[in-house]
């Protein structure tokens, strides 16, 4: 938990992507960095409605950022659910950019799992200023929005995205770097952190993660052996890619940045605590809600008011 963060919230892709595009243009320069984590990513997504020196699409804006001296690094899921998720093309585009830019098409997931983190971070060029320790303050975005066409326009999904400036932005840099450094294809390791100087805001921010539990290597190996062929047969029938299985060069390689026998359920624990401490009302805004555990933690004698957002 960190204090003195500045936060802003976006409920449309148009607002969120335009703000990100501004940062990629205005904060570009030597040694600037952009980090991207995504479930999907389309470089042809319109990120601003009006012409600009950096262009109007994500691909054009990233190219501008790199040409000014910045580096782009991304980890995008090799999506087994959506045929045209755009990740492969985005990885190829980012890999063609200068200054050590690189991207990973990430297929390393638990059996039939997915990488669902949606994070965009801009670390400005030091030319734009740094703290007393020489560290630059990052601008981070996280929440429900990939940079993708289904987040814009009249039929765009209803979602919420948060812009963070302050110490919590560095927590999100750590999320990216942990996954990047743990991946067998990461190449150059990442360790440069960003400023944790308070941004002068009044937001308390806790960055939470969810990572899978692998209680037994033997049990997991049996699951993969018995069910992976069945799942892949179904995926092949729909034209999708093969499912992830944590396999690296023919053997299982778990994540090393946490204890895989325990997993990480920070999000669920934080939500349960918020419910337990609520005194007047609980407001939830989500694209879907499927965890049956909610029923056992909901306050007794509470009244549910529900609103469904249509397209």
Residue with tokens 């009006």: 50
Alpha helical stretches, state H, the chain:
13-26, 58-67, 87-95, 167-182, 217-237, 266-277, 294-297
The per-residue pLDDT for range 224-275, each reduced to its tens digit, is: 888 888 888 888 766 667 888 888 777 788 999 999 999 999 998 998 898 8
Quick one: average pLDDT of 49-71? 97
Q: Calculate the alpha carbon distances from 147 to 1, 133, 158 in Å.
A: 27, 33, 14
Name the token pair of 61.
């804006």
Of 113, 112, 120, nearest to 164 by C-alpha is 120
Rounded Cα distance, 268 and 289, in Å: 12
Neighbours of 218 (CB within 10 A): 8
Q: Where are the domains of the chain?
A: 2-204
Name the token pair of 252.
């299982």
Cα four-point dihedral sign 139, 144, 150, 152: negative
- Counting residues of the chain whose pLDDT is more than 90, the rounded percentage is 68
Q: Is 189 exposed, middle or buried (0-12, 13-18, 19+ CB in 10 A)?
A: exposed
- What pLDDT shows up at residue 82? 85
Q: Are 211 and 110 in contact (CB under 8 A)?
A: no
The per-residue pLDDT for range 113-139, each reduced to its tens digit, is: 899 999 999 999 999 999 999 999 999
The per-residue pLDDT for range 182-221, each reduced to its tens digit, is: 999 999 999 999 999 999 999 999 999 999 998 888 888 8
What is the separation of C-alpha 258 from the centre of its chain, rounded to a whole number of angstroms? Answer: 18
- What pLDDT shows up at residue 220? 86
The per-residue pLDDT for range 156-183, each reduced to its tens digit, is: 988 899 999 999 999 999 999 999 999 9
Cα four-point dihedral sign 52, 166, 75, 96: positive
Longest dimension (CA), the chain: 59
Strand partners, 247: 252
Q: Are 89 and 51 in contact (CB under 8 A)?
A: no
- Write the class of the CATH domain 2-204: alpha beta
- What pLDDT shows up at residue 311? 47
Task: Give the three-class secondary structure for 9.
Answer: strand
Q: For residue 281, name the pLDDT band (cuts at 50, 70, 90).
A: confident
Mean pLDDT of the chain: 91
Neighbours of 74 (CB within 10 A): 26
Quick one: average pLDDT of 139-146? 97
């Amino acid at each position: 938990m960190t204090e003195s963060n500045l936060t802003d919230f976006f409920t449309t892709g148009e607002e969120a992507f335009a703000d990100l595009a501004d940062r990629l243009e205005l904060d570009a320069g030597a040694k600037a960095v952009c980090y991207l984590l995504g479930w999907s990513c389309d470089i042809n997504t319109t990120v601003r409605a009006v012409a600009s020196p950096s262009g109007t699409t994500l691909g054009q804006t990233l190219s501008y950022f790199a040409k000014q001296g910045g580096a782009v690094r991304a980890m995008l899921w090799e999506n087994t659910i959506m045929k045209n998720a755009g990740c492969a093309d985005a990885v190829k585009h980012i890999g063609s950019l200068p200054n050590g830019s690189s991207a990973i098409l990430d297929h390393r997931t638990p059996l039939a799992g997915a990488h669902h983190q949606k994070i965009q971070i801009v670390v400005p060029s030091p030319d734009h200023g740094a703290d007393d320790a020489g560290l630059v303050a990052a601008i981070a975005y996280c929440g429900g929005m990939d940079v993708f066409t289904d987040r814009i326009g009249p039929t765009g999904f209803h979602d919420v995205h948060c812009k963070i400036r302050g110490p919590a932005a560095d927590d999100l840099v750590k999320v990216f770097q942990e996954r990047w450094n743990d991946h067998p294809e990461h190449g150059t390791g990442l360790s440069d952190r960003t400023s944790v100087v308070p941004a002068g805001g009044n937001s308390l921010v806790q960055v939470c993660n969810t990572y899978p539990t692998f209680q037994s290597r033997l049990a997991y190996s049996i699951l993969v052996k018995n069910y992976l062929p069945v799942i892949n047969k179904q995926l092949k029938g729909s034209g999708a890619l093969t499912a992830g299985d944590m396999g690296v060069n023919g053997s299982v390689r778990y994540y090393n940045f946490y204890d895989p026998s325990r997993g990480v359920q920070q999000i669920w624990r934080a939500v349960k605590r918020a419910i337990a401490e609520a005194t007047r009302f609980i407001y939830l805004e989500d694209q879907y809600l499927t965890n049956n555990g909610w029923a056992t933690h909901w306050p007794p004698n509470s009244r549910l008011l529900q609103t469904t957002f249509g397209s």
